[in-house]
Amino acid sequence: MLEISNLHVKLEEEDKQILKGVDLSVGAGQVHAIMGPNGSGKSTLSYVLSGRDGYEVTEGGATLEGQDLLDMEPEERAAAGLFLAFQYPVEIPGVGNMTFLRTALNGQRRARGEEEVNAAEFLKLVRARAKELQISDEMLKRPVNVGFSGGEKKRNEILQMAVLEPKMCVMDETDSGLDVDAMKLVADGVNALRSEGRSFLVITHYQRLLDHIKPDVVHIMADGRIVKTGGPELALEVEKNGYADILEEVA
Amino acid sequence: MALAQPKIDLADALLARHATPAAGAKWAETARRSAAERLRAMGGPVRRDEYWKYTDPSSLTADVAPPAALMERDGTSIFSQVDRLTIVFVDGVIDLAQSDALALEGMTIEPLSDALGADIHWAQSVYGALETRGQDPVPRPLAALNTAVAGQGLAIHVTGKVEKPVSLVYLHNDVASDAVIHHVIRLDAGAEMTLLENGPAAARFNKCMEVDVADGARFHHVRAQGRDHERRAVTHMFARLGEESSFKSFTLTVNGVLTRNEAIIEFTGDNAHATVAGACAGDGTFHHDDTVFITHDAVNCESRQVYKKVLRNGATGAFQGKILVKAGAQKTDGYQISQGLLLDEESQFLAKPELEIYADDVACSHGSTVGAVDEDMLFYLTSRGVPRHAAQDMLVLAFLDEAIQEVEDEVLANAIRNRLGGWLERRSNSGL
Ligand SMILES: Nc1ncnc2c1ncn2[C@@H]1O[C@H](COP(=O)(O)OP(=O)(O)OP(=O)(O)O)[C@@H](O)[C@H]1O
Ligand SMILES: [Mg+2]
């Protein structure tokens, strides 16, 4: 599904190398987790994959189902099936949640040559998904993320994911800021989306999310590289001992 | 200080240029003559005047109106969904055949020439009178010119709560038209009306409106200045507000090479409210100037100024807004915000906010910002699959909506939103 090879990325504005050769291969239907110390480049990886400005790829590449991701505009990547649940979802005053989500869904559908969803169908779809995530009608009516609590914003990210039904979901610290119950809701939402044709890349600092969303593979990222890859037990090791042992071992 | 000769010559030229309107009653002729005297005393406007430093008045004062091509019409009118009484002006001349009958419960409406022709008329206390009050401390020569030469316009006397909006539609059919319109409006105590205005009006349009709002009366005004790219306009709105009255005016401007909108509002009674707001979207040679002067001369009055401008392809937006709080105007609450959203580096937004306060117990605030579209927001939207141009349009509409929200009536606010949405769509379709 997602193939990242030898990805080197520096900041556009300054001479700062952030990703220093990332290799990662997520198969269809798989859940991969990325853990790693603060500042190791996890969010940067997610931004580069989704096409945010400000980064320069100096070497390597990334493909989604064989298509060169890095060549596409952000909206083209979305239409191709990539989704990023932001570590810090953006507040957009004046743009209604529903208008935004419908424009996004229909933008993607149009780009793929599919028929647009009409207002009534859309409402039904969103209501059903929102209910599962316990997002109220009142929240749906508000401007995008405006006045949402930290946890509400994260739930709203998952709502968008559930409505847009991407193939490749990148989730950047979706668990941070969630209370125990909300974490369960979000995990249930994610698990409901799991399918053979859909993959997940879950960035997290904590084992707890991975108790709910069982990963197939766990990667440790440090200083712009994947330094270790293993099974779910790797996350448990991090939880118990921190990164020191692992980093020492690979150094 | 003696007036520079070119300014005097310009005043004379401006007065000479316009055909003399049909003679009115004695009081009206006196009003016109004294307006001409005012203009001569203050001189015509030139770029060097402090009050015109952001906007070059020369095409407004040139001998001949620069021609303005007629844009293709799609036949829709911004307020067509609104149940209203429509009065049509074509190139600045009232067209009764195209208008509804000038009759609506709770008010009288007459062509200006009828009012000025009557020996005894309520308009005597308004025509040129509010304009005169608004000439101090800053001269507004094109308003004085208007009073001196206007033959067209309406005299509206509101005596009750009028249900339907009065909708003035300014059609532009002659590429070279040079129109002058003057409206006088009086709202008696407790009266209410909504005035709508839309249309390109003329190649060059000088409009003056005097609104006298008596105690407890409410005046609601929504204006859409459209569409022809090359049109020019200078408009003045003078208002005097009585006790517990309310005055709310909103203007949408799209297109037009030059628009200068002045609003001059004076609180004379306590506990009154005024809002003036504007949203404009400008492209290319567009130059738009909002000049506002609010005088608080009463206790516990609230004024709001909310101006938002989106500019691209080298468009210019200017804002000069002043709040003057006179001694004794305690408990004044004055608010002013002006913001420019620049979609490229060629466009510019110029702002001069001013506060002048002579009372000690007041709360006044003003802010002015200029910036580009927020990249983080743009990325968030596009990363979800919203095409970039649509994402930008969403952010533009969101930005302007803060001004549109000042329009209380949702039907009217939505009419404004639709018009803007259509404008943005046409722009992106034409590849701009
Ligand atoms: N625009 C930027 N300007 C300057 N430094 C940046 C920028 N973007 C990223 N960095 C730096 O790159 C490094 C990686 O940042 P990134 O946000 O990817 O880390 P992370 O692994 O997601 O960390 P965390 O776990 O704290 O979320 C950090 O040192 C960060 O300061
Ligand atoms: Mg991060």
- Within-domain flag for A136: yes
- Decide if pLDDT at B136 tops 80: yes
**Whole-number pLDDT of residue A251:** 67
Ligand 1 contact via A43 beta carbon (within 6 Å)? yes
A81 and A62 housed in the same domain: no
Ligand 1 contact via A160 beta carbon (within 6 Å)? no
- Within-domain flag for A97: yes
Which candidate from A95, A105, A164 shows the least CB-CB separation from B398?
A95
Ligand 1 contact via A46 beta carbon (within 6 Å)? no
- Within-domain flag for A192: no
A77 and A156 housed in the same domain: yes
Ligand 2 centroid–CA A223 distance in Å is 13
Ligand 1 centroid–CA A49 distance in Å is 15
Range of the domain at A67: 1-31+54-71
**Whole-number pLDDT of residue A209:** 87
Going by pLDDT thresholds of 50, 70 and 90, the confidence category of residue B429 is: low
- Within-domain flag for A197: no
**Whole-number pLDDT of residue B431:** 47
A22 and A77 housed in the same domain: no
**Average of per-residue pLDDT across B180-205:** 97
Could you say which ligand is closest to the alpha carbon of residue A10?
1
Supply the pTM of this predicted model.
0.90
**Whole-number pLDDT of residue B422:** 84
**Average of per-residue pLDDT across B305-319:** 96
**Whole-number pLDDT of residue B155:** 98
A88 and A5 housed in the same domain: no
**Whole-number pLDDT of residue B430:** 57
Q: Say if residues B359 and B328 touch (Cβ distance below 8 Å).
A: yes
CB distance A100–B394 less than 8 Å?
Answer: yes
Q: Residue B417 belongs to what H/E stretch?
A: helix B410-429
Q: How many Å lie between the alpha carbon of B406 and the closest alpha carbon of chain A?
A: 14
B381: which chain A residues are within 8 Å (Cβ-Cβ)? 92, 95, 100, 104
- Decide if pLDDT at B321 tops 70: yes
- Within-domain flag for A178: no
As for how many domains chain A has, the answer is 2
- Decide if pLDDT at B75 tops 70: no
**SS3 of B166, please?**
strand
A152-197 pLDDT per residue, tens: 898 899 999 999 999 999 999 988 888 888 888 888 888 988 999 9
Closest listed residue to residue B333, CA positions, set B284, B399, B272? B272
Q: Say if residues A32 and A23 touch (Cβ distance below 8 Å).
A: no
Decide which of A19, A45, A71 is a domain's last residue. A71
Higher pLDDT, B363 or B431: B363
Ligand 1 centroid–CA A38 distance in Å is 8
Question: Which residue's alpha carbon is at the smallest distance from atom 9 of ligand 1?
Answer: A44
A67 and A89 housed in the same domain: no
Integer angstrom CA distances of residue B275 from B15, B134, B171, B405: 33, 17, 27, 11
Which candidate from B379, B387, B395 shows the least CB-CB separation from A107?
B387
Going by pLDDT thresholds of 50, 70 and 90, the confidence category of residue B179 is: very high
Going by pLDDT thresholds of 50, 70 and 90, the confidence category of residue A247 is: confident
Going by pLDDT thresholds of 50, 70 and 90, the confidence category of residue B67 is: very high
Which candidate from B385, B395, B399 shows the least CB-CB separation from A107?
B385
User: How far is the C-alpha of B299 from the C-alpha of B267, rounded, in Å?
Assistant: 9
A64 and A150 housed in the same domain: no
Partner A, chain B 367-396, Cβ-Cβ below 8 Å? 375-377, 379-388, 390-391, 394-395
User: How far is the C-alpha of B300 from the C-alpha of B328, rounded, in Å?
Assistant: 10
B280-307 pLDDT per residue, tens: 999 999 999 999 999 999 999 999 999 9
A100: which chain B residues are within 8 Å (Cβ-Cβ)? 381, 384, 386, 394
B214-243 pLDDT per residue, tens: 999 999 999 999 778 899 999 999 999 999
- Decide if pLDDT at B112 tops 60: yes
Mean pLDDT of chain A: 91
Domain ranges of chain B: 5-373
Going by pLDDT thresholds of 50, 70 and 90, the confidence category of residue B432 is: very low
CB distance A84–B394 less than 8 Å?
Answer: no
- Within-domain flag for A184: no
**Average of per-residue pLDDT across B112-141:** 97
**Whole-number pLDDT of residue B199:** 92
Which candidate from A94, A104, A164 shows the least CB-CB separation from B399?
A94
CB distance B375–A94 less than 8 Å?
Answer: no
Ligand 1 centroid–CA A83 distance in Å is 20
Decide which of A109, A136, A168 is a domain's last residue. A168
Ligand 1 centroid–CA B171 distance in Å is 58
A11 and A87 housed in the same domain: no
DSSP secondary structure code for residue A195 in this structure: B
What is the CATH number for A131? Answer: 3.40.50.300
Paired residues of B76 in beta bridges? none
Mean pLDDT of chain B: 94
A116 and A152 housed in the same domain: yes
Q: How many Å lie between the alpha carbon of B7 and the closest alpha carbon of chain A?
A: 46
B19-62 pLDDT per residue, tens: 889 999 999 999 999 999 999 999 999 999 999 999 999 999 99
**Average of per-residue pLDDT across B210-214:** 98
User: How far is the C-alpha of A206 from the C-alpha of A250, rounded, in Å?
Assistant: 21
For chain B, the distance separating the N- and C-terminal CA atoms, rounded to the nearest angstrom, is: 49
